[in-house]
Chain A
Amino acid sequence: MSGLKQFFRRGDPFIWLTGSALGTCLLLIGGLIVVILVNGLGYFWPRPLVKATLTDGTAVLGELAAREAIPDPGTPNHLKKHRVQIKVGNRELTGADFRWLRDDEITALENPPEAVSVERREYGAFFGFPKVLKDGDTELASGFGLLAALGPRLAQAARDRDEIRRLEKGDIGEINRQLELVRLDLRGLDLRKDDPDVAERRRELTEKAARAEELYKQKQAELQTVYERAARGAVVFTAVDGQEKELRLLDVYRVYPTNALGRFQRARIYFGRLWGFMMDDPREANTEGGIFPAIFGTVMMVMIMSIAVVPFGVIAALYLREYAREGVMLRVVRIAVNNLAGVPSIVYGVFGLGFFVYFVGGSIDRIFYPERLPTPTYGTGGILWASMTLALLTVPVVIVAAEEALAAVPRSMREASVAVGATKFQTILRVVLPAAAPGILTGMILAMARGAGEVAPLMITGVVKLAPELPLDGVFPFFHLERKFMHLGFHVYDVGFQSPNVEAAKPMVYMTTIFLLLIIILLNLTAILVRNHLRKKYRTSAF
């Protein structure tokens, strides 16, 4: 009895309680990360192709995706028999990406060494057997042996794709941009009719437009040549059911005989696909291809947000801590700031839409871009407004952290500064702010972590499913802050819940999540390194 009393008095149960609470948290977080990693990282590994011969004589070729017991409640067979899920691909031929097969339907399972996986532009994966490699009407090679000849041809096709893309987006895009500018200038002339130079200017612009039009025709012809040359190459595959499929080399990204590959070759394909996922644009309603624009958009948005939120929050905190008179009013303001952090983020989104997009953006359009109306420039969602909305959302975090950092600057340091004749402003600028910088950066880290993971407010202030152009490119003025952008968080939602082919896109969701986490970790690590550097420099600070 007394032993038990002793046990409680010493606080042993309390240690167990606290320890298990922490343990549970770690377990949950660790479990989440493990689930994401396991489901995501395996996606790009080339999995063996199996050919299943069925009792009715037909055959199925594909990747083994899952195996489960068949539920048949009420009968003795409940969960006794099994079935397998096979990713059969060839969507345009079979109509579905996956097929369930009962174990008792299958008569034979084998790994045909000549089967190949094809990554292509449309319709998801293709599984089959190579038949003929063609250039126009001439046959270059046939059978499994064509793979050797295919490699260099695919490399050429990749170069052709780049060339076509350069012509379309680069040269022709530039001409179109100039034509658009001319059109806008002409509209601008319409808006001020009383100007005497209008006629002269109009003539100049019309000539310019004609020249651009001429250049456009030239480039279009050039594009046509490249396109025709590139489109001649084609490769024919036979599906397991005997149907033939001809694919233009332009549309084929990668062909590999999975079952014939060694571990090392598979690893090469794995990293190649991973790299492509990171650096390419999305295809097929985001369910194929890469996520580069989403990575770019996320990073850029977080950066713009930080640039906006830190000075704003710090200045507000400076007033609260250094200038405002202590009293009821100040306490009310502090409580209000803290409560702002609890407002649902979608409410900020609605505010951002109403204030930034419609009011501020609309005003900018009326004043600076009247010739483009009714097409909005800033008066519609864009990366700038999304970042500003998130800055607003995270400003309470920065204010609270900055206030604490300012309060932690020792009084003795302020007195030392004031005693040699510094004004309060000089003291704040030269002594207080540098010493509080590490604590302020802590606030920035918290704000970034919060902002990077936020999706709801972005959906109505500028994020889109597919953005044709990045908000930062080589075209003057380089930063196009009015453009819409892609975001990893929204990408997860879009691919996972809005895509036409959810089952096939599931691994993409995991991979996108991994990248979102990685980016948040990287951004935070950078900020933490900067903070540690500052901390070393201003060692007296409590932060």
Chain B
Amino acid sequence: MVTMSPTTDPGIRIRTSVREAEPKPAVAATAIEMKDVTLSYGDNQVLHGITMDIADRQVTAFIGPSGCGKSTLLRCINRMNDLIDNVTTGGHIRVKGTDVAAPGTDVIEIRRRIGMVFQKSNPFPKSIYENVVYGLRIAGIRDRHVLDEACERSLKGAALWEEVKDRLPESGLSLSGGQQQRLCIARAIAIEPEIVLMDEPCSALDPIATVKIEELIYTLKEKYTIVIVTHNLQQAARVSDRTAFFWLGRLVEYGPTPDMFTKPGEKLTEDYITGRFG
């Protein structure tokens, strides 16, 4: 069961504010529709027919024990699993109407519409500026003015502008861990995606940096649909509107976050969130 410490914890503030701003989950439009998604690495099937809808401009959290397939499912959405040899997939994933999983889909186009933030911050060994505008550059944008504007907008969006605005030519690797992760978020939103996928974005960060990222997620959902994979149940409770619990490659339970944590429908979910396994 999620237990919150008294009011000094900044996480509380976020959670309560999430609750306050939440009387609309039922009316949200659907951003991603998944139907019977399966995936195997060679003979090893890791996703067994996942069917779920992810709401537009909300934060959806994927939770579950290690190896339950939540990251794999996340990477199906922007076809990152293509980079791995020997993967076979099945089912349909529709992102605002486009079938992402279909073989003929333009993968590059899909990835431009879906930004991604990784578990370990992975800025390029380039300047802060070049890190942010990387996606624009490879899309062929050369206009300095457009790039400058996108850089500022994205860094502001990632709540990093004030800290780095005077040192844009410095290496992205000169930033602290938390700043690097926000730089990666800025890089992901610089291409103006519709959806931002986050694969355990805080697992390598200290508590203070984690709080900053969580605050950022809360503001980002104004503009983007966010799917976040997390091992940290308290984080899922704090930042997400809806939570999906996976176990052994199956979707066990999926619903509004407060319901999931206070009155889970499945025994398995309850066992997991109360820490009986996982």
Interface residues in chain A, defined as those with a beta carbon under 8 Å from any beta carbon in chain B? 325-326, 410, 412-423, 426, 430-431, 434-435, 537-541
Report the bound CA distance from A142 to B21 in whole Å: 113
B139: A residues at CB distance < 8 A: 421
Q: How far does the Cβ of A73 sit from chain B's closest Cβ, in whole Å?
A: 72
Interface residues on B, range: 20 to 34
Report the bound CA distance from A419 to B115 in whole Å: 7
A423 and B173 contact, CB distance less than 8 A: no
Q: Count the A-B residue pairs with Cβ separation under 8 angstroms: how many?
A: 73
List 7 other contacts, CB 8 Å, given A415-B118, A416-B184, A421-B135: A415-B116, A418-B111, A420-B111, A420-B112, A420-B191, A422-B134, A539-B125
B138: A residues at CB distance < 8 A: 417, 420-423, 426, 430
Q: Is B83 an interface residue (CB 8 A)?
A: yes
B122 and A413 contact, CB distance less than 8 A: yes
A418: B residues at CB distance < 8 A: 80, 83, 111
Q: Smallest CB-CB separation from A535: which chain B residue? A: B125
Closest 8 CB pairs of A and B: A420-B135, A421-B112, A412-B122, A538-B125, A419-B116, A421-B111, A416-B122, A422-B138
Q: Is B85 an interface residue (CB 8 A)?
A: yes
Report the bound CA distance from A421 to B138 in whole Å: 8
Q: Smallest CB-CB separation from B109: which chain A residue? A: A421
Q: Is B242 an interface residue (CB 8 A)?
A: no
B122 and A410 contact, CB distance less than 8 A: yes
The 8 Å CB contact of B125, one of A414, A419, A420, A435, is: A435
User: What are 11 A-B pairs with beta-carbon distances under 8 A?
Assistant: A325-B85, A326-B85, A412-B120, A416-B124, A419-B78, A419-B111, A419-B188, A420-B112, A420-B138, A430-B134, A434-B125
Q: Is B108 an interface residue (CB 8 A)?
A: yes
B85: A residues at CB distance < 8 A: 325-326
Q: Residue among B85, B112, B122 with the most chain A CB within 10 A?
A: B122
Q: A416-B187, A435-B125 are in contact. Are A539 and B173 (CB under 8 A)?
A: yes
Q: Smallest CB-CB separation from B137: which chain A residue? A: A430
Interface residues in chain B, defined as those with a beta carbon under 8 Å from any beta carbon in chain A? 78, 80, 83, 85, 108-109, 111-112, 115-116, 118, 120, 122-125, 134-135, 137-139, 171, 173, 184, 187-188, 190-191
Report the bound CA distance from A414 to B184 in whole Å: 13
Report the bound CA distance from A177 to B145 in whole Å: 56
Q: A420-B188, A540-B173 are in contact. Are A415 and B125 (CB under 8 A)?
A: no
B125: A residues at CB distance < 8 A: 434-435, 537-541
B111: A residues at CB distance < 8 A: 418-421
Q: How far does the Cβ of A462 sit from chain B's closest Cβ, in whole Å?
A: 41
B118 and A412 contact, CB distance less than 8 A: yes
B116: A residues at CB distance < 8 A: 415, 419
B122 and A421 contact, CB distance less than 8 A: no
B80 and A419 contact, CB distance less than 8 A: yes
Q: Residue among B80, B83, B109, B187 with the most chain A CB within 10 A?
A: B83
A538: B residues at CB distance < 8 A: 125
B134: A residues at CB distance < 8 A: 417, 420, 422, 430
Q: How far does the Cβ of A240 sit from chain B's closest Cβ, in whole Å?
A: 72
Q: Smallest CB-CB separation from B136: which chain A residue? A: A420
The 8 Å CB contact of B80, one of A415, A423, A537, is: A415
Q: How far does the Cβ of A302 sit from chain B's closest Cβ, in whole Å?
A: 29
Q: How far does the Cβ of A125 sit from chain B's closest Cβ, in whole Å?
A: 60
Q: How far does the Cβ of B153 sit from chain A's closest Cβ, in whole Å?
A: 15
A417: B residues at CB distance < 8 A: 124, 134, 138
The 8 Å CB contact of B124, one of A419, A426, A431, is: A431
Report the bound CA distance from A539 to B123 in whole Å: 11
A420 and B115 contact, CB distance less than 8 A: yes
Q: Residue among A326, A414, A416 with the most chain B CB within 10 A?
A: A416
B190: A residues at CB distance < 8 A: 420
A413: B residues at CB distance < 8 A: 122, 124
Q: Smallest CB-CB separation from A424: which chain B residue? A: B83
Report the bound CA distance from A144 to B85 in whole Å: 89
Report the bound CA distance from A415 to B118 in whole Å: 9
Report the bound CA distance from A412 to B139 in whole Å: 20
Report the bound CA distance from A487 to B188 in whole Å: 55
Report the bound CA distance from A434 to B111 in whole Å: 23
A415 and B122 contact, CB distance less than 8 A: yes
Q: Smallest CB-CB separation from A429: which chain B residue? A: B138
Report the bound CA distance from A541 to B124 in whole Å: 11
Q: How far does the Cβ of A537 sit from chain B's closest Cβ, in whole Å?
A: 6
B122: A residues at CB distance < 8 A: 410, 412-413, 415-416
Report the bound CA distance from A9 to B88 in whole Å: 52
Q: A540-B125, A540-B173 are in contact. Are A415 and B135 (CB under 8 A)?
A: no
Q: Smallest CB-CB separation from A540: which chain B residue? A: B125
Report the bound CA distance from A419 to B118 in whole Å: 10
